[in-house]
């Protein structure tokens, strides 16, 4: 099977040939752990989970290593500790637990290795010392900075920018000790109230970019197959990773393939707190959106295109999954996923094309083939199926009844009937979701249809 992936470094779709088919290696930038993961944070997790599954299917599960880091030393974490009065370790431990739980709810497999930045400080210091010895870094006022001029010809190739253009339009930290405005921090001093480690340059902590370079090199080697993340990381984070890693290890090539996913929107708009459309994965799960539904919505859009999360898409995905689960109940999956599904995934992770093939199999009644292909995509698994075990009943009449009562109450300002119906529905084990455009009643685990007979 030939896998083709769009390589940001070459700006084209390239045939993926691993450096060592017995040891396929992928590194993906993970979260900074100070708060719940928002929906946009989940997109790269699902995207690279699909790639991980495809690589395992192609080369064997024992021959693929997937590393995704946790940044557990960062100024955002320090600020959260100062705001709340909590210990930094308590915040990071809790947040890592939240992240793994929420991503697991979306059907994401855990990577083989999940390094924490604080466990690799020695490797970071060692890499910085090498960069200084080779003339690629310098110390200034307690900071150690990477000298962009020392690698000027190659800096910016990933994102397609020249250093001069970057300087002209840069929004970078202005510091008098920088030799070039684009120079970036490898190590910075820490005050007594901040996390810090002893180093040749005094007590301090690492800059953000050096973390991933040190961890990926330690875990995967000086040359590995794939480096991934959201396209918002392409510059400066990934550009800086390349500069540090290639300069510290000139005999290695760092990452052979660079893969970047596009960003996420909500109802056609950029997700932001100011627009009131910002929510975490846990918010969605708590509102009753099953993780499997969120996953299917994600997979219906190609990873290199902006993904628009809408309530309409979620409802359609839920209906599709209910049909598929009913069709495959009690069925043993085929031994392998259909060739058409594998072909779609091998063509730059065309998950939308793969989902189209699943619809075809469902329409043809190929339950075994549908289940095998869906499982490859992380769908229709037993682990994600609890949400669909409730009764599949027609509640449209009750939904219309509550919506009509609400419309009447908007005119009369008397909401007593609305409150009565909502209380009755809740007592019957229904979750009541109301919006300006309609009402949705979702059966819960304790749903009792008999309690609705009196209505």
- Share above pLDDT 70 across residues of the chain, in percent, rounded to a whole number: 97
- Share above pLDDT 90 across residues of the chain, in percent, rounded to a whole number: 82
pLDDT of the residue at 380: 98
SS3 279: coil
Position 56 pLDDT exceeds 70 = yes
pLDDT of the residue at 388: 84
Q: Which residue has the higher pLDDT, 141 or 173?
A: 141
pLDDT, average across residues 419-437:
87
Measure Cα distances from 452 to 422, 423, 449 in Å.
Answer: 11, 11, 5
pLDDT, tens digit, 9 for 90 and up, residues 149-203: 999 989 999 999 887 777 655 555 568 889 998 999 999 999 999 999 999 999 9
Burial class (CB in 10 A: 0-12, 13-18, 19+), 443: middle
Residues at the binding site for ATP are 273
Burial class (CB in 10 A: 0-12, 13-18, 19+), 116: middle
pLDDT, tens digit, 9 for 90 and up, residues 365-405: 999 999 999 999 999 999 999 888 766 677 888 999 999 99
SS3 104: helix
Position 128 pLDDT exceeds 70 = yes
CA separation for the pair 346, 340 (Å, rounded): 10
pLDDT, tens digit, 9 for 90 and up, residues 213-223: 999 999 999 99
Residues at the binding site are 29, 212, 237, 241, 273
CA separation for the pair 56, 50 (Å, rounded): 10
Residues at the binding site for Zn(2+) are 29, 212, 237, 241
Q: Give the helix/strand (H/E) hosting 144.
A: strand 143-146
Enumerate the β-bridge partners of residue 234: none
Q: Where are the domains of the chain?
A: 4-261, 265-384, 395-451
CA separation for the pair 372, 332 (Å, rounded): 8
pTM of the predicted protein model = 0.86
The CATH number that domain 4-261 falls under is 3.40.50.620
pLDDT of the residue at 253: 95
pLDDT of the residue at 164: 75
CA separation for the pair 312, 437 (Å, rounded): 11
Q: Indicate the pLDDT class of residue 52, thresholds 50, 70 and 90.
A: very high
Position 247 pLDDT exceeds 90 = yes
């Amino acid at each position: 099977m030939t896998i083709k992936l769009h390589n940001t470094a070459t700006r084209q779709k390239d045939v993926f040939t691993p450096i060592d088919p017995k040891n396929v290696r992928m590194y993906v930038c993970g979260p900074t752990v100070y708060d719940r993961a928002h929906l946009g944070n989940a997109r790269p997790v699902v995207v690279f989970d699909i790639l991980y599954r495809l690589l395992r299917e192609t080369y064997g599960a024992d021959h693929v290593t997937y590393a995704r880091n946790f940044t557990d030393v960062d100024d955002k974490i320090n600020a959260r500790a100062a705001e709340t009065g909590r210990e930094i370790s308590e915040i990071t431990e809790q947040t890592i637990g939240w992240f793994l739980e929420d991503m697991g709810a979306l059907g994401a497999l855990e990577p083989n290795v999940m390094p924490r930045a604080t466990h690799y400080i020695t490797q970071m210091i060692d890499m910085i010392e090498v960069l200084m010895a080779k003339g690629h870094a310098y110390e200034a006022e307690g900071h150690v900075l990477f000298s962009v001029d020392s690698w000027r010809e190659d800096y910016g190739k990933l994102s397609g920018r020249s250093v001069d253009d970057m300087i002209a339009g840069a929004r970078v930290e202005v510091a008098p000790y920088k030799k070039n405005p684009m120079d970036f921090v490898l190590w910075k001093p820490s005050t007594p109230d901040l996390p810090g480690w002893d180093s040749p340059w005094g007590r301090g902590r690492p800059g953000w970019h050096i973390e991933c370079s040190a961890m990926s090199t330690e875990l995967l080697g000086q040359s590995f197959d794939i480096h991934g993340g959201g396209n918002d990381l392409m510059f400066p984070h990934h550009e800086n990773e390349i500069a540090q890693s290639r300069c510290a290890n000139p005999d290695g090539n760092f990452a052979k393939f660079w893969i970047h996913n596009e960003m996420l929107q909500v109802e056609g708009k950029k997700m932001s707190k100011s627009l009131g459309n910002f929510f975490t994965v846990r918010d969605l799960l708590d509102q009753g959106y099953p993780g499997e539904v969120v996953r299917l919505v994600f997979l219906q859009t190609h990873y290199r295109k902006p993904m628009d999360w809408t309530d309409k898409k979620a409802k359609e995905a839920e209906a599709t999954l209910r049909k598929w689960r009913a069709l495959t109940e009690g069925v043993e999956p085929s031994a392998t996923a259909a060739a058409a599904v594998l072909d779609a995934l091998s063509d730059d992770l065309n998950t939308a094309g793969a989902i189209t093939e699943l619809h075809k199999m469902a329409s043809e009644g190929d339950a075994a083939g549908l289940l095998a292909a869906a499982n490859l995509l992380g769908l229709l698994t037993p682990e994600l199926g609890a949400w669909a075990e409730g009764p599949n009943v027609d509640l449209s009449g009750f939904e219309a009844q509550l919506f009509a009562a609400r419309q009447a109450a908007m005119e009369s300002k008397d909401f007593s009937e609305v409150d009565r119906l909502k209380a009755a529905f809740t007592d019957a084990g229904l979750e009541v979701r109301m919006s300006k455009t309609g009402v949705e009643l979702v059966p819960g685990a304790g749903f009792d249809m008999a309690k609705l007979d009196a209505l």
